[in-house]
Copies of this chain bind each other. A is one copy, B any other.
């Protein structure tokens, strides 16, 4: 009747060796193996290997209240920034025999609440969250005091560790690059301000814009509601109707930039001939676009990897110092063809008007 052959348990190997299960348990636990005589331990290990013993994770969890599982929450795994991050998380966790369960929220607070509850009932030991808002009431309430690592974004709460990219430096490099190409009127398509990436990139834009003397007439920013191509298009249109002149646009991420370029092009503004555009993240294929996108390369895999290590470290130290740490990963400016020196110097005046320059530049 039993089509599935019985798994071998501690009891089986105990019987095989002729000792008590507790002895086997200790012999197999590296942390307690010194409590059993070396020869016996070796014999037990051999027997357990021969019988093909595999510990039962459920029993272990029930007893120890640890699952060696981390809950990972992202807006949408299909957004191209997340796969390499998740891969990094899995690689990092795998080093310590942890696994992850990932859940998507679609940026919906109710969904987020639900997935956190699900993860809790699964008994995850800790969380890696890519969905945190700057002020996030949900998190403290639903993580049951377990370690939380906020990735990509930061939450304004000292209890939560974080690992993020150096957004500030990324924006600084982009602006410096554009200014060095002669751009002065530099617009910004900002991301949603309730998430820290959107906010940080926007405030970096403001800060360095002033510092570098760009857009001296005042800020030239519009705000996207999501980090999507569609919003990029919408925001580009919005920039055009302001009537303000600009020769370059710093976009808060690659998708916004792609949308913006498309919208500009539809209005006869070619990138980079008439306008330079930059992205952020360097997602796959943006190097193959026409023009290839100037952007900021971030270390997605590493970010995931480090957050995983941080999580298991926090778990090991559990009870001790629940020290939170904050990690900022360096970025890299990658200059491609979507940015170019201003030439000829932009005539002051309306830009929204159709504007067909020479189709081909040198």
Contact = CB atoms under 8 A, between A and B. Distances in A.
Interface of A: 3-5, 54-59, 61-62, 67, 76-80, 82-84, 86-87, 90, 94, 97, 99-104, 117-118, 120-123, 144-146, 258, 262, 283-286, 288-290, 301, 319
Contact of A144 (B4, B56, B122): B4
B3 A121 contact: no
A161 B58 CA distance: 27
A290 B82 CA distance: 25
B284 A145 contact: no
B80 A76 contact: no
23 contacts: A4-B144, A5-B145, A54-B117, A55-B121, A57-B61, A57-B123, A61-B61, A76-B87, A77-B83, A78-B84, A79-B83, A87-B104, A90-B103, A97-B118, A99-B101, A99-B118, A99-B122, A100-B101, A101-B101, A258-B288, A285-B285, A285-B286, A288-B289
Given A4-B146, A62-B62, 5 more contacts: A5-B145, A56-B62, A58-B67, A76-B87, A285-B288
A195 to B, nearest CB: 20
Contacts of A99: 101, 103, 118, 122
A258 B83 CA distance: 21
A321 to B, nearest CB: 13
A262 B285 contact: no
Contact of A56 (B55, B79, B123): B123
A78 B59 CA distance: 33
Q: Which of A61, A288, A301, A319 has the most CB of B within 10 A?
A: A288
Contact of A90 (B5, B97, B104): B104
A286 to B, nearest CB: 7
Contacts of A283: 285
Contacts of A258: 285, 288
A284 B80 contact: yes
Interface centre among A78, A84, A120, A144 (most CB of B within 10 A): A78
